[in-house]
Amino acid sequence: MAGSPGRRELGLRDLTLFALSCVVSARWMPLAAHAGPGSIALWLLAALFFAAPLTVAAAALVAKYPKAGGLYLWTREDFGPWHGFFGAWVYWIGIAVLFPTAVMLFARVGFSLLGPDLAALGDRRPYLLAATLALIWIALGANLIGLKVGKWAENLGALATVAIVLVLVGAAWLVSARRGSATPLHIVPAWSWGTVSFWAAIAYATSGMEGPAMMAGEVRDPERTMRRAGWIATGLAAALYISATTAFLVVLPPDQIGELNGYANVTNSAGLLLGATWLSPLIAVLVLISGIGFVGGLGTATSQLPFAAAADGLLPKAFGRLHPRWGTPHVSILALGLVASFLLVVYQLGDNMRAAYDELMSLMVITGFLPYLYIFGSAWKAGKRLSSVSGLAVTVLALVCATVPPDGITNVWLFEGKLAAGTLAAMVSAWVVYQRRRSP
């Protein structure tokens, strides 16, 4: 049976900030602003019909299964060993795919700190990939030495995310007072096949509440603390995403906000108008801190899945070992970093950097959403019927939308081929590993 791999270090404050660092990522804000003011309505819909039901489901499942292991434990107990392993495996792969797409933006922001002459290096693939790899390992390394230290990376990351939004909103208010909004804020989303995959990404951006739930074995009074932290973090997440997206659009129109360069675009424009040259480097530093907390938080939570599976003999025993000094599932954390690094590199083959980024985004959504079929199925069994129906409906819709190529993809067959290959690889590898470990 899965047990707790560590001490109960997390109280309400820590778990709320941990949850906020898992749910809210600064990487989604310029992406939403680039898509236009319709994103504001999408944030509201995602919060109501996916994030809130997921919070209800996570709290109910922590109450039902108050041990470490999270998704793996819930699914194993409700649907059987194979489904438990499959859900945990695919979720783990999904997080490994998420890391490169998220950290690539954080790395690009980091290059903007180097001044106008060196900032352009962030547009060159070798430099951007090297910086992305470095940030992945810095974030995971902070949590390798234990939650007593690692939790501060998540706490600072969550606080940095809040600070980013507050600074952006303040700057946007001053810009609006001086020359009005750059974008008419018509929030009804415009239909386009080229943006359907983005709708799925918005829903995925509000996910993550299952992350802190996986840390039940590390939490003091897990049922009560998870419920309170979940609602606080969910409300804050929706407010932060909507506020930041609006601030971006007040400063610049959508077509001038890059998905990877959006922070530099907006802060340079606002700083120039307001005479605040310090604005851009301040936001860049905050985004980097936020990114380290985001990757570290998800990496730490996700490491619980291989740990629990190893305890049941479904993965090599090394995944179930704790570091003799730090008491962390270090093999699980290191393996996650290695897979994320491999995917970052291999998806660059045969495509330009922009297409590779879009392919990873779609694969991230598919592998990320498949396990929610199990989470909301377990929530149904726990008696949370309304939340389960709402969450399952959004999950199925998101899986379908993620298969539609976004605007800018010129080689549709290569896009769909890589997407299919990545999805099949995740599913088939789960079956192969499970059968080998179950064989006498």
Secondary structure (DSSP) of 89-155: HHHHHHHHHHHHHHHHHHHHHHHGGG-HHHHGGGGSHHHHHHHHHHHHHHHHHHHHT-HHHHHHHHH
347 within domain boundaries: yes
Is 101 in contact with 27 (CB distance < 8 Å)?
A: yes
Q: How far is CA 308 from the centre of its chain?
A: 22
User: Sign (positive/negative) of CA torsion 407, 129, 88, 293?
Assistant: negative
Instruction: Give the pLDDT confidence score for residue 311 in this predicted structure.
Output: 76
Q: Is residue 272 part of a domain?
A: yes
Report yes or no: 237 and 220 within 8 Å, Cβ to Cβ: no
- Compute φ and ψ for 10, nearest 5 degrees: -105, 125
Higher pLDDT, 327 or 130: 130
pLDDT tens sequence across 337-358: 888 888 777 766 655 666 677 7
Count of structural domains, the chain: 1
What six digits make up the tokens of 315?
């993965």
Residue of 308, 3, 301 whose CA lies nearest to 151: 301
pLDDT of residue 6: 46
Which range is least confidently modeled, 125-129, 217-221, 413-417? 217-221
Average pLDDT over residues 319-335: 76
What does the pLDDT read at residue 105?
Answer: 78
Asked if 333 and 321 touch (Cβ cutoff 8 Å), the reply is no
Nearest alpha carbon to residue 394 among 190, 207, 187: 207
The predicted-structure confidence for 34-43, as pLDDT tens digits, reads as follows 888 999 999 9
The pLDDT of residue 1 is: 37
4 part of a folded domain: no
Would you say 84 and 428 are in contact if contact means Cβ atoms under 8 Å apart? no
pLDDT at 354: 66
Q: What is the pLDDT of residues 96-139, one digit of tens each?
A: 888 777 788 788 787 876 767 777 777 787 888 888 888 888 77
100 inside domain: yes
What's the pLDDT at 22? 76
> How far apart, in whole angstroms, are the C-alpha atoms of residue 84 and residue 88?
6
Q: Give pLDDT tens digits for 282-292.
A: 998 898 888 77
143/256: higher pLDDT: 256
pLDDT higher at 243 or 10? 243
Q: How do residues 50-89 score in pLDDT, each as one tens digit? A: 999 998 998 889 888 877 667 888 999 999 999 999 998 9
pLDDT category at 395 given cuts 50, 70, 90 is very high
Q: Output b/e per residue, 51-65; b: 16+ Cβ within 10 A.
A: bbbbbbbbbbbbebb
The overall average pLDDT reported for the chain is 82
Residue 159's pLDDT is what?
A: 86
- State in Å, rounded, how far the first CA of the chain is from the last one: 19
Is-contact 77 65, C-beta < 8 A?
yes
CA–CA separation, 261 vs 278, rounded Å?
17
Do residues 328 and 145 touch, judged by C-beta distance below 8 A?
A: yes
The values of phi and psi at residue 219, to 5°, are -105, 140
pLDDT at residue 80, as a whole number: 92
**CATH code: domain of residue 185:** 1.20.1740.10
- Nearest alpha carbon to residue 416 among 381, 366, 369, 371: 366
Phi and psi torsions of 324, nearest 5° = -60, -25
240 touches 24 (CB < 8 A): yes
What's the pLDDT score for residue 191? 59
Q: What pLDDT, in 10s, does the model give residues 129-144?
A: 888 888 888 777 766 6
Structural domain harbouring 269? 12-438
Give SS3 for 412: helix
**pLDDT score for 394:** 94
How many angstroms separate the Cα of 285 from the Cα of each of 100, 249, 296? Answer: 19, 22, 17
- The answer to the question of residue 5 being in a domain is no
Average pLDDT over residues 259-286: 89
Q: Judge whether 344 lies within some domain.
A: yes
| DSSP codes, 230-241 | HHHHHHHHHHHH
Q: Give the CA diameter of the chain.
A: 73
Let me know if residue 411 belongs to a domain. Answer: yes
Structural domain contains residue 2:
no
Q: What is the per-residue DSSP string for 49-91? A: IIIHHHHHHHHHHHHH--STTHHHHHHHHHH-HHHHHHHHHHH
